[in-house]
Structure 1
Amino acid sequence: MVFGLVLTLAVAGVHYYLWRRLVRGTTRPGRARRVLTWSLVGLGALVPVTLAASRSEFGHWLAWPGFFWLAVMFYLVVFLVLLEIPRGVAAVLLRRRAPVAQALTVPPAVPEGPPAVPEGPPAVPQVSAAEPDLVSRRLFLGRATAAVAGVGALATVGYGISTALGAPVVEPVRIALPRLDPRLSGLRFAVVSDIHLGPLTGLRHTERIVRMINELDADVVAIVGDLVDGTVAELGPLAEPLKELQSRYGSYFVTGNHEFYTANGPGEWMAELERLDVRPLRNERVEIIHRGAVLDLAGVDDVTGEPDFERALGGRDRSRSSVLLAHQPVQVAKAAGYGVDLQLSGHTHGGQMVPFNLIVPMQQPVVSGLATVDGVQVYVTRGAGFWGPPVRVGAPPEITLAELTHVGGS
């Protein structure tokens, strides 16, 4: 209820700002202003309705228009805020050029003696033509600002949609691990996260991801959470291509926060993934044996569930290198205490829509790419799908090919 109230107030505040800039600032009182006002009210109501109902059967019909407007709304605000300073400067210049309206009548001198009885109606002050001219200039400024913001927002969202719905970028990365057995050098992980099967994705989305992963000829496939945004009954057919995943040592999965948001919880998806030959690692580890050497591959639940690092990593031989699958980068804080060499994560989407990439560091230690946190190397993939608006700006979808090497090795 608190989240819903905050969301409603935020949406209302944003739409009031848009009304002032896009409606009040561009129209005179009258029919056009009324129509635009009620249109904006309707679009404002569409946002929380879409977010609340997007997972229901009825809500699927709202997904495209609702999330499209959410993206356009966001970038309208971004462009309008960026235009506030030049708009303010232009408004000051307009006021200086247009003389202030003055009454042209001269007040009569005060007569001596008793006041005279006025003859005829009182004089009406005459207003300079400068005032309507100033109003026209303000309307021109408001309309020019709205036009620039509108074109910028629509162009940005259009680019973002084509990026989000396009093929993921394959990001090759070589990660040197100091304790890696030289025999494990060259071991390759195909890492994918945040596929977000849902109302705006189709079967081709999954098929393309599976095809691209198989073309990498990886040793291990790691799916690090947020696979779905719905139940098996709703999205099972979209996940079916996962059974075609190919790798030498298997495909593994750890839960993300969205698996815990599904109506039936994550349990049914764990069973479905096992049917599709993808092994869930729920606070457990397995041994990857490559060229006679052993690598510990562990996985923990997302922080939304009950991650158990002790169960997944406790009691192992720390002379062996280890790779941890954990959905959120912030989980590295606990992984560091167990001697983990590398953590593979997702969750951030790389920010998905600039400038959200500037906000992610407030919650997560890494936005995307490779970094070292508390002595542990962390690679954060941007994810292969999207959440909410089907828009990606400055953060294209990604499938990662991570190759392990020992220090000094090739």
Structure 2
Amino acid sequence: MIAVFVLIALVAVGLLVTVHWYLWRRLVRDVSAPDGLWRRVGTVLVVALPLVSVANMISSRAGAPFSVQRVLAWPGFLWLAMLLYLVLALLVGEVVRLIVRRARSVPARAAAAPDAGAVGGPPVPAEQDRDEAPEPEREPEPDSASASSGSSSSPEEPGRTPTRRVFLARTLAVGATAAAATTVGSGAYSVLNGPTLKHVTVPLPKLARAAHGYRIAVVSDIHLGPILGKAHTQRIVNTINSAQPDLVAIVGDLVDGSVADLGPAAEPLRHLRSRHGSFFVTGNHEYFGDAAEWVDHLRELNVHPLENARRELPAFDLAGVNDVAGEDQGDGPDFRKALGDRDPGRASVLMAHQPVQIHEAVDWKVGLQLSGHTHGGQLWPGPYLAELANPTVAGLERYGDTQLYVTRGAGAWGPPVRVGAESDVTVVRLASPST
């Protein structure tokens, strides 16, 4: 096991070094003079920024003081997002380079080709001996004044305007940086501005006509931590309360840290308002710390944990199972405990953090499962990767007689950035099939 961990660590470090070497080559070496200021500053940044990102990830695992984690989190995580989109933008630039190179090679080959009527090269004057090769012209040597004047304006040609190659390199570097910064900036604003409110109607088998239109506010993946704190929670609470739901379902990954550090950040949850209360199930991130500690604390905030348990509401059975990550701590999901003795004639809604738990839900004939976990991929092209590990990445799908709704979540893990996967709180409106 240790050997596997070391191998993975070496591969990760090697990949990190390779990617940053590529960034240094395209954003620093190709665009600056060897003795220029940007060469020195850019080189320092290419070394320092990944070190900050690594230190940030190590600090959270090593139990560093929360104040230290907060200092490292912003630059450390944001650089990882910038790194992703810088590399993607520069790879697009490589295609542009190839196109320009091909375009330039066409007239160059045409100019090098001999005239159609000439054979064996240009004609030799009659008075010149055919066996004597013409002496090549010598370029005039620059005088001392012109050689010493001017400053180095490109990495290749001091004292002269940049070559076309350098001009292209600088244009692509500036364009890639601007594109990455704009993408990350807008993605961060999307997270920090709070989730959008979505509405979806789900026909629920066996739901009584009187309960038609029952509304559940589904929120997941809030991820309180060194970056997202009390203000983030308050925005989510305001969004939920504005919808005036009948019930609030928090389907895991509420926190990334301890109650001691993040208890104040979770305090606004106390002010959630709904007709039948707020309920919670654990996600995998709760088990990175002390999940039991958070379960107890949430009870103090008037949020009711469903630990492999069921609550019989007037309209349907609301059940919840622990996340699969709890299995390593002897606290995993137990569908039999949550659903085994319920009345099969009643409608049922299951809270389960990960979409992969849908297969057990189908076996237990659940009407609707509410999940999160995927973040909708969070950072494009993340959705394509999320599809490899989850049956549904976002939205509503049917599996047999069971429906699965997956919210994109209201926060972000790692970089506080979302691209192509807007954060949301979803109001699920239950519809009776008899209406």
Query: Which TM class, normalised by the smaller chain length?
Result: 0.7 to 0.9
Is 1:385 aligned to residue 411 of structure 2?
yes
Structure 1 CA distance for aligned equivalents of residues 211 and 319 of structure 2: 16
Pairwise mapping of residues 57-136 of structure 1 onto structure 2 (< 5 A)?
Answer: 57=66, 58-95=68-105, 136=163
Give the letter for the 1:21 counterpart.
Answer: R
Q: In structure 1, what is the Cα distance between the partners aligned to 2:107 and 2:49? A: 38
Aligned length: 385
Alpha-carbon spacing, 1:370–1:334, altered in 2? closer, same or farther (3 Å): same
Q: Residue 209 of structure 2 contacts residue 434 of structure 2 at CA under 8 Å; is this kept in 1?
A: no
Provide the TM-score with structure 1 as the length reference.
Answer: 0.86
The residue number in structure 2 matching 1:114 is none
Does the 8 Å contact 2:208/2:434 carry over to 1? Answer: no
List gaps (5 residues or longer) in structure 2.
113-129, 141-155, 327-331
Q: Label 1:27 to 1:312 Cα distance change in 2 as closer, same or farther (>3 A).
A: same
Q: Are 1:95 and 1:134, in contact at CA under 8 Å, matched by a contact in 2?
A: no
User: Offset at 1:82?
Assistant: 2.4
Match of 1:198 among 225, 228, 235: 225
Task: Quote the offset at 1:135 in angstroms.
Answer: 8.4
* Structure 2 CA distance for partners of 1:373 and 1:135, relative to 1, 3 Å: farther
Given candidates 279, 294, 301, the residue that maps to 1:276 is: 301
1:210 maps onto 2:231 in alignment: no
Partner of 2:317: 296
Corresponding residue of 2:191: 164
User: After superposition, where does 1:245-394 map in structure 2 within 5 Å?
Assistant: 245-262=272-289, 265-290=290-315, 295-305=316-326, 306-394=332-420
Give the whole-Å Cα distance in 1 for the aligned partners of 2:89 and 2:399: 35
Cα distance between partner residues in 1 of 2:91 and 2:35: 27
Q: SS of the counterpart of 1:402?
A: strand
Confirm whether residue 15 of structure 1 aligns to residue 12 of structure 2: no
* AA matched with 2:240: I
3-state SS in 2 of match to 1:304:
helix
Residue-by-residue CA offset, 1:99-154 (whole Å, 9 max, x unaligned): 899xxxxxxx999xxxxxxxxxxx999699xx979982221121111111111011
Change (3 A) 1:83 1:171: same
Q: 2:179 aligns with which of 152, 171, 174?
A: 152
Q: How has the CA–CA distance of structure 1 residues 144 and 251 changed in structure 2, closer, same or farther, with 3 Å as cutoff?
A: same
State the match for 1:25 in structure 2: 30
| Structure 1 residue 96, shift from structure 2 partner | 5.1
1:288-345 deviation line (CA, Å, top 9, x unaligned): 114xxxx111111111111111221223222211111011111101211000110101
In the alignment, the residues of structure 2 paired with residue 41 and residue 395 of structure 1 have an alpha-carbon distance, to the nearest angstrom, of 31
Provide the C-alpha distance between the structure 2 equivalents of 1:44 and 1:127, rounded to a whole number of angstroms: 48
Deviation for aligned residue 1:42: 1.3
C-alpha change, 1:244 and 1:134, in structure 2 (3 Å) is closer
Q: Which of 60-69 and 12-21 deviates more?
A: 12-21
Query: What residue is the counterpart of 2:53 in the other structure?
Result: 47
Which residue does the alignment assign to 1:119?
none
Cα 1:13/1:311, change in 2 over 3 Å: farther
- Cα RMSD (Å) of the superposition? 2.8
**Partners of 1:177 and 1:407 within 8 A in 2:** yes
SS where residue 168 of structure 2 aligns?
helix
Amino acid at match of 1:66: G
* 1:389 counterpart SS class: coil
Q: Secondary structure at the match of 2:344?
A: coil
Partner letter of residue 219 of structure 2?
V
Please state how far the C-alpha of 1:212 moved relative to its aligned partner.
Answer: 2.1
Structure 1 residues 125 and 244: alpha-carbon distance in aligned structure 2, compared to 1, 3 A threshold: same
Percent identity, aligned pairs only, is: 48
CA contact (8 A) 1:284 1:300 kept: yes
Contact kept in structure 2, 1:186 and 1:405, CA below 8 Å: yes
- Are residues 1:403 and 2:409 paired? no
Cα 1:5–1:373 change in 2 (3 A) is farther
